């Protein structure tokens, strides 16, 4: 059944084979301090740098989730407090979570700027030129939640000090793992703060990943699957071109082919539209009905989220979703009548 749910979303079909390999070769039983497991971590980190074009001086670590990254940024990289310009549910959640750890007492003293690059809840996007403005105007660290865009879009990495994403979206993998990328300046900030009281303190994480180890027993299967997927995916520049082309095609489809349908794009300003999550608006009744009809046709649409839960459906435009599946959804939407 084709799924367009924006996370967890479709996994690459090869993942089943890779998981079988991991069991048959004993990867899932390796001690996380063993040479064999360290080789897997080392190759995974190398491939992340290569395939995502991450600068050589930026560090890479693997943790459990993007939510854990919120915690790491707040406890290990924020000395006073953080600012959170947001335009959707996940940006708001990150702000609330961070301020429980480091309350915002004086915005003028905030030393960390936290930005959701791709807001999965409503299909909006902060583009690189906006991050350029943030970098120019803000003197502290910049942390970017790129959960639904990393491995789908190319980034100008030096525009932020921290980038992170879970793997159940554009990486085309099962949930349970996240990629954390951080700059030399972020590491310096962590060293100045000196926070080392938690199992996921960045200093402890960095100390271990410098040896291609993890500070705790990790999701070994998830790391192996990430390594294997990275071996077969194209470089990010090629993926980026395809995803942006497909996004433009989706937006034209709704604005022109379905102009007389009950569906309207939630985000009217093209500059703000996401390239990886397309949010489509309609009445509560129409949205509920189309999701049921799609399911009966063998297609899973993404539910709405937060303030848009009952008035939108979302379409994932992730690399693992192929042309045939996209055409199947388009055919359904062309022929569907409420």
Mean pLDDT of 136-153: 98
Q: What is the pLDDT of residue 137?
A: 97
The residues near 16 (Cβ < 8 Å, ≥ 6 apart) are: none
Please give the pLDDT value at position 337.
Answer: 82
Q: Does 333 score more than 90 pLDDT?
A: yes
| Axis-axis angle for helices 66-76, 202-209 (nearest 10) | 110
CA-to-CA distance for 63 and 54, rounded, in angstroms?
18
Q: What is the CA radius of gyration of the chain?
A: 20
Going by pLDDT thresholds of 50, 70 and 90, the confidence category of residue 130 is very high
The model's pTM is 0.97
| Tens-digit pLDDT profile for residues 66-118 | 999 999 999 999 999 999 999 999 999 999 999 999 999 999 999 999 999 99
Is CATH 3.90.1150.10 correct for 236-335?
Answer: yes
pLDDT tens for each residue of 7-64: 899 999 999 999 999 999 999 999 999 999 999 999 999 999 999 999 999 999 999 9
Mean pLDDT on 271-281: 98
pLDDT of residue 338: 79
Alpha-carbon torsion (88, 94, 97, 103), positive or negative: negative
Domain ranges of the chain: 14-231, 236-335
Structure confidence at residue 29 (pLDDT): 94
Query: Could you tell me which residues come within 8 angstroms of residue 27 by beta carbon, excluding any fewer than 6 positions away?
Result: 21, 36, 37, 40, 220, 221, 224
pLDDT mean across residues, the chain: 97
Write down the pLDDT at residue 320: 98
pLDDT digit string (tens) for 154-200?
999 999 999 999 999 999 999 999 999 999 999 999 999 999 999 99
Backbone phi and psi for residue 119, each to the nearest 5 degrees, phi listed first:
-85, 100
pLDDT at 230 over 90: yes
Indicate the SS3 state at residue 50. Answer: helix
Chosen CATH of 14-231 out of 3.40.50.1390, 3.30.420.40, 3.40.50.2300, 3.40.640.10: 3.40.640.10
């Amino acid at each position: 059944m084709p799924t367009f749910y924006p996370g967890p979303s479709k996994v690459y079909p090869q993942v089943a084979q890779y998981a079988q390999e991991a069991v048959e070769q004993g990867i899932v039983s390796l001690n996380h301090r063993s040479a064999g497991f360290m080789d897997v971590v080392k190759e995974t980190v190398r491939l992340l740098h290569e395939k995502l074009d991450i600068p050589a001086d930026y560090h890479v670590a693997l943790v459990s989730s993007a939510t854990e990254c919120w915690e790491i940024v707040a406890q290990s990289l924020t000395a006073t407090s953080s600012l959170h310009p947001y335009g959707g549910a996940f940006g708001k959640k990150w702000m609330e979570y961070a301020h429980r750890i480091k309350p915002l007492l004086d915005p003028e003293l905030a030393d960390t700027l936290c930005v959701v690059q791709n807001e999965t809840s409503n299909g909006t996007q902060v583009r690189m030129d906006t991050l350029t403005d943030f970098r120019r105007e803000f003197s502290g660290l910049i942390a970017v939640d790129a959960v639904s865009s990393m491995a789908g879009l190319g980034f100008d990495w030096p525009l932020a000090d921290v980038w992170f994403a879970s793997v159940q979206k554009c990486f085309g993998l099962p949930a349970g793992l996240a990629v954390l990328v951080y700059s030399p300046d972020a590491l310096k900030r962590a060293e100045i703060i000196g926070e080392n009281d938690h199992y996921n303190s960045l200093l402890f994480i960095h100390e271990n990943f410098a040896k291609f180890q993890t500070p705790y027993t990790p999701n070994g299967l998830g790391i192996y699957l990430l390594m294997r997927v990275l071996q077969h995916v194209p470089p990010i520049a090629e993926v980026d071109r395809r995803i942006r082309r497909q996004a433009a095609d989706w937006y034209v489809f709704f604005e022109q082919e379905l102009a007389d349908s009950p569906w309207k794009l939630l985000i009217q300003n093209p500059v703000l539209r996401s390239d990886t999550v397309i949010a489509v608006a309609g009445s509560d009744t129409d949205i509920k009905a189309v999701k049921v009809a799609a399911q009966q046709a063998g297609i899973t649409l993404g539910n709405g989220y937060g303030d848009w839960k009952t008035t939108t459906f979302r379409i994932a435009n992730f690399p693992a979703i192929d042309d045939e599946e996209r055409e199947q959804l388009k055919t359904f939407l062309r022929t569907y009548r409420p």
